[in-house]
Amino acid sequence: VPCVFCRKDGPLSDEHVFPKWLQPHLAPDGEDGTHRRLIFRAGETEVAEHAYRGQPATQVVKAVCKECNEGWMGRLEGEAKPYLLSMVRGNTRSYYRQGQTLIASWFVKTALVAGSKFKPSLPTEFYSAMFEDHRPSTNTRVWLAATPYTGHHQSDFRPIRIEPDDRPPHSEPNCFSAMIVADQVVGFVVSWLDAVPSTDRLLEEFGPALVRVWPVAEPKVTWPSPAGRLDFAQLDALADTVVAIDDVTAGRGVPNG
């Protein structure tokens, strides 16, 4: 099996979805740790939904080669770590262009690693774009938000099939949304290939609470947003804004209009 990022065959090493350096800051048992996986199977409209209460903090995937793990991904971890740890400790942080790019890249990398367990796999383009540029593609949006919960962690990954009017339905996802929560820090990622998902609801309902970091739009942004922190119900609602669980499990897999 080739590495999801560089496509080279080679021994794959265990990759933590939440890196080891974050784990001391995440709740040790499953009480607050939930994550959800939606499983798409080629040619089937039914989508299996699995909700886990467990320890996503220690979730490991075997999809990345040692060279990527210790190379560009290790460098990205090293660069993002001080910023993330500062936010985890509750510090307000301002990000300039380079910082916004860095933090956005970390969340997209983490979302892609979390999503690498899904079958059918996301199209390789999602991974190769990140591998080649070490930053999110232009077809990607990343926002930061905040929760009041320390130790909370969550990875909610949703592959999406967007079906434009005049084209046949995709058999594999051509879009995904992902919410990665590490302690008080929330990253929300939407990425697509050939058809743009609607983020209208996302912006209508959560706009003020979101700090956009990719593509970089403001020379300086500050986390957390003064508009407030999202509680558990709001986190679930945010994860539903691009594609609701009901739409996905009903096989529609289309974004909310």
- Interface contacts to Zn ion, rule CB under 5 A: 3, 5-6, 65, 68
Question: Closer CB to Zn ion, residue 68 or residue 112?
Answer: 68
Question: Closer CB to Zn ion, residue 95 or residue 127?
Answer: 127
Question: Closer CB to Zn ion, residue 77 or residue 156?
Answer: 77
CB of 198 to Zn ion, least distance (A): 33
Question: Closer CB to Zn ion, residue 59 or residue 69?
Answer: 69
CB of 23 to Zn ion, least distance (A): 23
CB of 62 to Zn ion, least distance (A): 12
Question: Closer CB to Zn ion, residue 41 or residue 66?
Answer: 66
CB 225, CB 146: distance < 8 Å: yes
Cα-Cα end-to-end distance for the chain = 37
CB of 70 to Zn ion, least distance (A): 10
Question: Closer CB to Zn ion, residue 6 or residue 144?
Answer: 6
CB of 146 to Zn ion, least distance (A): 33
CB of 65 to Zn ion, least distance (A): 3
